[in-house]
Chain A
Amino acid sequence: MDMKATKKKLGLKEKYAHMTRGLGWDTTYQPMDKVFPQAAFEGIKIHDWDKWEDPFRLTMDAYWKYQAEKERKLYAVLDAFAQNNGHLGITDARYLNAVKLFLTGISPLEYVAHRGFAAAGRNFPGVGPRVACLMQSIDEVRHAQTQIHALSNYNKFYEGFHAGATHQIERVWYLSVPKSFFDDAFSAGPFEWMIAIGFSFEYVLTNLLFVPFMSGAAYNGDMATVTFGFSAQSDEARHMTLGLECIKFMLEQDPDNLPIVQKWIDKWAWRGIRVLTLVGMMMDYMLPKRVMSWKEAWEIYFEQNGGALFNDLAKYGIKVPECITQCTVDKEHISHQAWATFYQYAHASDFHTWLPNDEEMDWLSAKYPNTFDKYYRPRFTQWREMADKGERFYNNTLPMLCQVCQIPMVFTEPDDPTKICYRESEYQGEKYHTCSDGCKHIFDDEPEKYIQAWLPVHQIYQGNCFPEGTDPTVEGFDPMLKVLEWYHIENGKDNMDYEGSGDQANFAAWRGMATQNT
């Protein structure tokens, strides 16, 4: 027998290489560019896929083992939560509006991330990045599903969740903000996808997106969401290392990649930061027990941590995106401007709004000494006075939306917080409006893409947002009510003020049942 007497012991790295990249081969019966048709069209040049450094080394057997262990624990907690009326442990039912924002705005993105990473996991000619992308793809379907499962129990007791995680993201006006972000990334090629989602979203911005929601859950007694958050933490860590490896790999492969990568970083940083407006608003206004202000989060997680990251990338020639200058101004404004918008359009939203109370306004003054008392307190005070007189202010006209980020044009000029900022571009004889230099820049670079945007306000005015068979000529036709019906928002239950809502009344009654004897 020619069996080797002593087998060479394989190192982990070597063994992992056999288990992954050893599986691939250069096809000869079919040309490689037909097998990998998306590898070249974005202009990124890769000379040697073998130079890819695996960001983590996980074989499938280990993956199944670790992940199954986490799933068993997570579902045990979710079952206990459901069995023991865990929903009554939250600080206040008002908090759940942040969770609604998460279910309708974030969970559907996890799903699209799953599909997009499956595509990346098919399209890169290198086996190493493909395996890593596929693991992220399956993690992302985990996140979409575990979020839906964690929040399913709230749906049983509270309004605003019932439409589920997908119906509204395609339709509701403000949800086109996160949706168009992911549609934008997925409709680009695989390399841009990795910069957009793998790097910008999962690496640079994750501490400002995922973490604030999970911390908010921890601070507000939401055991379902925070358990999910802890369970997803190690997945997220893997995703971050993948995003970082990917950008380094692209930059190391060819100097010609630098300008393309820089352009994408600039674009996706700005695109991402615009989406984060919703998170800023959630942190400053929607949590009964607040974690930190948006401005503080921005300073810690972007200015400090992000600064260190960009220092690290400077050796490749990467520069901090220009738009960051505007962000240092914006951090004092955007959360207030966004909440003011939702307050005015509370009738068209799938969650409740309210005005900050005195204690909350004082907190905001302390956190935003340069701006809150000067620009925003007077507005909230005025609205409170109007509401007290029974003249609660609703804005009944629809706002113009930015052609790129799709946020209503509510942001102000960087040098004048009393003046709405808007920019104009012309393309093929039509005028298009954007909310900022950052968005205008993105539009001007790819106008043929952004003119395709499905802008919810335009669509409402064009009559495309009514249930099938709606006849707008009948007497008493109320377009807003028909739009809500099409959105699947139950007027008077899901929308309007928290004060006086069913959620508020039920929570008080149920908590009473659980804590008192009468």
Chain B
Amino acid sequence: MQIDLRTVAIKPLRHTFDHLVDRFGDKPASRYQEGSYNIQQEHIFHYRPSWDADNVLFDKKRTKIRMQDWYALKDPRQYYYGSYTIARARQQEAAESSFEMIEDRGLAELIPAELRQTALDVLVPMRHVEWGGNMGNSYIAAYGYGTVITQPCLYHAMDHLGVAQYLTRIGLVLDGPDALETAKSAWMSCPNWQPLREHVENLLVLQDWFEIFVAQNLVLEGLLNPLLYDHLDADFSAKGGTAISMMTRFMAEWSTETAKWVDAQIKVAAAESPENKAVLSDWVKHYRTATLAALAPIAARAFGEPSADVLADIAAEFNARCAKLGLAV
């Protein structure tokens, strides 16, 4: 049986805002669409920015990439603020219960010393790399073009801050505040961290926001995240360090999810024109070489002898991913 609640039905005058009707047809729009499309101003600006007098406030010329319609770069997750925070709140709840369980039951003390040391040496200094990821993505959120790509970049920036904070907590759980001091000093002066720090700093001075997107979100994350949250994680689990895997669960899920979003951007931008494809491919080749070189000493610390094979595997997977996105790399 079905019950039939009667309501006073009033026929609406229109389904949604005009610009969405023009774009998607005359039908009710989703909250993602209403909250994302055409909400950045485009045509008329009063004053030239004092910090970039050659361009207007929101300017398509801040990247070499050209798009007929910047709103083609939509987010397959359809994240607007509400759906984004609700998704992350769910994930943080799971992460929180993992940390609580580890802290309450002293599970960290059961981690074999060698693995614990690897986590301290490899994972904890990565909080600084994440902070670099935050900076690159906030740059895009500020100076990029079109809300469908700038909005998720801000979410991604906040995610990087969140990940940096989870890595900080891992340090605190494993060795208290000293872990953070040690990791910071490794980051600043230990020889095996210097190539990566130099690489991250090089990304902080890039001006072209789409280049940052490629160098950071596609290449660096595309190589680093599988290294940490796939290969190293498998190592931890296999050798009795499940507690560490529990603490990186958020990152593992997050990197899979965000990679899908990054892929959708690259795929559409590359398919737009041969020029875009060439620029993107060149960036990928350049940053792939730089990133792999920067990661090599860290991979060596994490995996020892087989690290070259691990990196080669990761690079092969990455190349296959890029080929699927239509890049010539």
A contact residues vs B (CB 8 Å cutoff):
1, 3-4, 7-8, 10, 14-15, 18-19, 22-25, 27-30, 34-35, 37-38, 41, 59-61, 63-65, 67-69, 71-72, 74-75, 83-85, 108, 111-112, 114-116, 118-119, 121-122, 127, 130-131, 134, 137-138, 141-142, 144-146, 148-149, 152, 155-159, 161-167, 169-171, 176, 179-180, 183-184, 186-189, 449-450, 452-454, 488, 506, 510, 513-514
Please list the 10 inter-chain residue pairs (A to B) with the smallest Cβ-Cβ separation, ordered nearest first: A68-B89, A60-B162, A145-B35, A119-B142, A164-B17, A156-B12, A118-B141, A23-B131, A118-B142, A71-B82
Contact assessment for B154 and A60 in the assembled complex, using a CB-CB cutoff below 8 Å: no
Closest Cβ–Cβ distance, residue B159 to chain A (whole Å): 8
> What is the distance, in angstroms, from A126's C-beta to the closest C-beta of chain B?
13
Give the residues in chain A near B38, CB-CB below 8 Å.
164, 166-167
Contact between chains at A161 and B17 (CB < 8 Å): yes
Contact B44 A170 (CB under 8 A): yes
Kindly list chain B residues whose C-beta atoms are within 8 Å of the C-beta of A22: 127, 168, 180, 184
A513 touches B45 (CB 8 A): no
Bound complex: CA A141 to CA B138 (Å): 13
Q: Give the shortest distance, in Å, between B135 (CB) and chain A (any CB).
A: 6
Q: When the two chains form their complex, are residues A155 and B14 in contact, meaning their CB atoms are under 8 A apart?
A: yes
B180 proximity list for chain A (CB < 8 A) = 18, 22
Q: How far is the CA of A450 from the CA of B175 in the complex (A)?
A: 57
Query: Closest CB of chain A to B293's CB: distance in Å?
Result: 14
Spot the interface stretch: B199-207, B282-290, B299-307: B199-207
User: Using a CB–CB distance below 8 Å, which chain B residues touch chain A?
Assistant: 7-8, 10, 12-20, 31, 34-36, 38-51, 57-58, 80-82, 85-86, 88-90, 92-93, 95-96, 108-109, 113, 127-128, 130-131, 134-135, 138-139, 141-143, 147, 150-151, 154-155, 157-159, 161-162, 164-166, 168, 172, 175-177, 180, 184, 187-188, 197-198, 201-202, 204-205
Q: A4 — which chain B residues lie within 8 A by C-beta?
A: 175-176
Query: Which residue from A1, A35, A74, A145 sits with its C-beta under 8 Å from B113?
Result: A1
A158 to B15, CA, bound (A): 11
Residues on B with beta carbons closer than 8 Å to the beta carbon of A163: 17-19
Asked whether A10 and B172 contact (CB < 8 A) given A115-B150, A513-B10, the answer is yes
User: A30-B202, A68-B86, A85-B8 given as contacts; is B172 within 8 A of A134 (CB)?
Assistant: no
B127 and A23 form a contact (CB under 8 A)? yes
With A149-B34, A184-B47, A514-B8 known as contacts, the answer to whether A141 contacts B142 (CB < 8 A) is no
Q: Which residue of A lies closest to B175 (CB)?
A: A4
* 11 sample A-B contacts, Cβ–Cβ < 8 Å, listed by A number: A3-B108, A41-B50, A115-B40, A121-B138, A122-B142, A142-B81, A145-B36, A148-B35, A155-B16, A156-B14, A166-B42
Q: How far is the CA of A202 from the CA of B172 in the complex (A)?
A: 36
For residue B51, which residues in chain A have a CB less than 8 angstroms away from its CB?
37-38, 41, 189
Are B177's CB and A18's CB within 8 A? yes
Question: B12–A157 contact, CB under 8 A?
Answer: yes
Chain B residues within 8 Å of A164, by CB: 17-20, 38-39
Kindly list chain B residues whose C-beta atoms are within 8 Å of the C-beta of A158.
13
Task: Find the B residue at minimum CB distance from A71.
Answer: B82
Q: How far is the CA of A145 from the CA of B79 in the complex (A)?
A: 11
Q: How many Å from the CB of A488 to the closest CB on chain B? A: 7
Which residues of chain B are near A29, meaning CB under 8 Å?
197-198, 201-202
Bound together, the chains give a CA A23 to CA B134 distance in angstroms of: 11
Chain A contacts for B89, CB-based, 8 A: 64-65, 67-69
Question: A187, B50: Cβ atoms under 8 Å?
Answer: yes
User: A85, A115, A161: which has the most chain B beta carbons within 10 Å?
Assistant: A115
Which A residue's beta carbon lies closest to that of B42? A170
Task: List the B side residues contacting A25 at CB < 8 Å.
Answer: 128, 184, 187-188
Most chain B C-beta atoms within 10 Å of own C-beta, residue among A30, A38, A63, A68: A68
Contacts of B41 in A (CB 8 A): 108, 112, 166, 169-170, 179
| With A18-B180, A149-B82, A164-B19 already in contact, 11 other A-B pairs whose C-beta atoms are closer than 8 Å | A25-B128, A72-B86, A108-B39, A127-B131, A138-B154, A145-B35, A149-B35, A164-B17, A166-B40, A171-B44, A187-B57
Please indicate which of the listed interface residues A1, A141, A170 has the most CB atoms of chain B within 10 Å of its own CB.
A141
Query: In the complex, what residue of chain B is closest to A169 when comparing beta carbons?
Result: B41
Interface pair A111/B39, CB less than 8 Å apart: yes
Select A513's contact among B8, B47, B127, B147, beta carbons within 8 Å. Answer: B8
CB distance from B198 to the nearest CB of A (A): 4
- Asked if B86 contacts A453 (CB within 8 A), the reply is no
Chain A residues positioned under 8 Å from B8 (CB to CB): 85, 513-514
The reply to whether B201 and A145 form a contact with Cβ atoms under 8 Å apart is: no
CB distance from B7 to the nearest CB of A (A): 7
Decide: A122 near B177, CB < 8 A? Known: A65-B92, A156-B15.
Answer: no
B18's contact among A67, A170, A452, A488, by CB below 8 Å, is which?
Answer: A488
Choose from A1, A8, A169 the contact partner of B176 (Cβ within 8 Å).
A8
Q: Which residues of chain B have C-beta atoms less than 8 A from A183's C-beta?
A: 45-47, 57
Least Cβ–Cβ distance between B25 and chain A, in angstroms: 15
Supposing A1-B113, A7-B176, A121-B138 touch, asked if A19 and B13 sit within 8 A by C-beta, the answer is no
Q: A64-B85, A64-B89, A145-B81 are in contact. Are A19 and B45 (CB under 8 A)?
A: no
In the assembled complex, how far is the CB of residue B18 from the closest CB belonging to chain A, in whole angstroms?
5
Task: State in angstroms the CA–CA spacing of A85 and B8 once bound together.
Answer: 8
Q: A111-B39, A162-B18, A164-B18 are in contact. Are A68 and B88 (CB under 8 A)?
A: yes
| Residue from the list A127, A145, A186 in contact with B57, Cβ < 8 A | A186
Give the CA-CA distance A130 to B142 in the complex, in Å: 13
Say whether B205 contacts A34, CB under 8 Å: yes
Q: In the complex, A104 Cα to B16 Cα: how many Å? A: 15
Specify which chain A residues have a CB less than 8 angstroms from the CB of B13 in the assembled complex: 156-159, 506
B150 surroundings in chain A (CB, below 8 A): 115, 118
B49 touches A148 (CB 8 A): no
A171 to B158, CA, bound (A): 33
CA distance A65 to B96 in the complex (A): 11
User: Are A10 and B154 in contact (CB-based, < 8 A)?
Assistant: no
| Assembled-state Cα–Cα distance A452/B44 (Å) | 11
Q: Is the CB of A170 within 8 A of B43?
A: yes
Q: Are B162 and A61 in contact (CB under 8 A)?
A: yes
Contacts of A141 on B, CB cut-off 8 Å? 81, 151, 154
Asked if B205 contacts A35 (CB within 8 A), the reply is: yes
Are A186 and B49 also in contact (CB < 8 A) when A64-B92, A146-B81 are? yes
A136 CB to nearest B CB, Å: 11
Smallest beta-carbon distance B319→chain A, Å? 27
Q: Out of A10, A61, A108, name the residue touching B96 (CB < 8 Å).
A: A61
Cα(A452)–Cα(B16), bound, Å: 35
Name the distance in Å between A171's Cβ and chain B's nearest Cβ: 7
Take A4-B176, A157-B12 as given contacts and tell me if A165 and B39 are in contact as well, using a CB distance cutoff of 8 Å.
Answer: yes
**Chain B's nearest CB lies how many Å from the CB of A357?**
27
Q: Which residues of A contact B175 (CB under 8 A)?
A: 4
